[in-house]
Chains A and B, each alone.
Chain A
Amino acid sequence: MIEKLQDLVNGNPGLVRRGKWTNAVMLLGIGNANWIITIRAGQIEAIAPEGWTVSPYDFAIRGTEEAWEKFWSPLPPPMHHDISALVRAGKVRMDGDIDMLLANFLYLKLVLEQLRGHYAPEAA
Chain B
Amino acid sequence: MQIEPIIGRYARMEIHGRPHRLYWEESGKGIPLLCLHTAGSDGRQFRAILNDLDITSRFRVIVFDMPWHGKSSPPEGFQNEEYKLTTDGYVDLVVTVAKALDLDRPVPMGCSIGGRVVLELAKRHPEMFRAVIGLQSSAFAQRYFPIDPLHKPNIHGGEMCAAYCYGLVGPVAPMKERWETLWHYMQGGPGVFKGDLHFYSMDGDVSDRLGTIDTAQCPVYMLTGEYDYSCTPQASKETATLIEGAELTIMEGMGHFPMSEDPKKFKSYLIPVLEKIAGP
Q: Which residues of A contact B (CB under 8 A)?
A: 75-76, 78-79, 81-85, 87-89, 98-99, 102-103, 105-106, 109
Contact = CB atoms under 8 A, between A and B. Distances in A.
Interface stretch (B9-17, B100-108, B149-157, B260-268): B149-157
A106 B149 contact: no
Interface stretch (B85-93, B163-171, B197-205): B163-171
Contact of B155 (A79, A88, A102): A102
B159 A83 contact: no
B162 A79 contact: no
Interface string B215-227: 0000000000011
A109 B162 CA distance: 11
A103 B171 contact: no
Contacts of A78: 226-227, 229, 233
Interface residues of B, number: 25
25 contacts: A76-B171, A78-B229, A81-B171, A82-B166, A82-B168, A82-B229, A83-B167, A84-B144, A84-B145, A84-B167, A87-B144, A88-B230, A99-B149, A99-B154, A102-B155, A103-B154, A103-B159, A105-B159, A105-B160, A105-B163, A106-B159, A106-B160, A106-B166, A109-B163, A109-B167
A82 B167 contact: yes
A82 B167 CA distance: 5
Nearest to B156: A103
A51 B160 CA distance: 32
Interface in B138-188: 144-146, 149, 152, 154-156, 159-160, 162-164, 166-168, 170-172
A23 to B, nearest CB: 15
A75 B172 contact: yes
A27 B173 CA distance: 30
A89 to B, nearest CB: 7
Nearest to B146: A98
Contacts of A75: 171-172
A67 B146 CA distance: 22
- Interface of chain A, main secondary structure: helix
Contacts of B226: 78
Contacts of A81: 167, 170-171, 227
A87 B146 CA distance: 12
Given A75-B172, A79-B229, A85-B229, A103 B160 contact: yes
A112 to B, nearest CB: 11
A113 to B, nearest CB: 9
Contacts of B167: 81-85, 109
A83 B226 CA distance: 17
Contacts of A79: 229, 232
A103 B159 CA distance: 8
A102 B166 contact: no
Contacts of B144: 84, 87-88
Contacts of B155: 99, 102-103
Contacts of B159: 103, 105-106
A84 B227 contact: no
Nearest to A101: B149
A106 B229 contact: no
Across the A-B interface, the 9 shortest Cβ-Cβ residue pairs: A82-B167, A105-B163, A106-B163, A85-B229, A88-B144, A103-B155, A81-B171, A102-B149, A78-B227
Given A81-B171, A88-B144, A102 B229 contact: no
B229 to A, nearest CB: 4
A88 B152 CA distance: 22
Contact of A84 (B152, B171, B229): B229
A106 B166 CA distance: 7
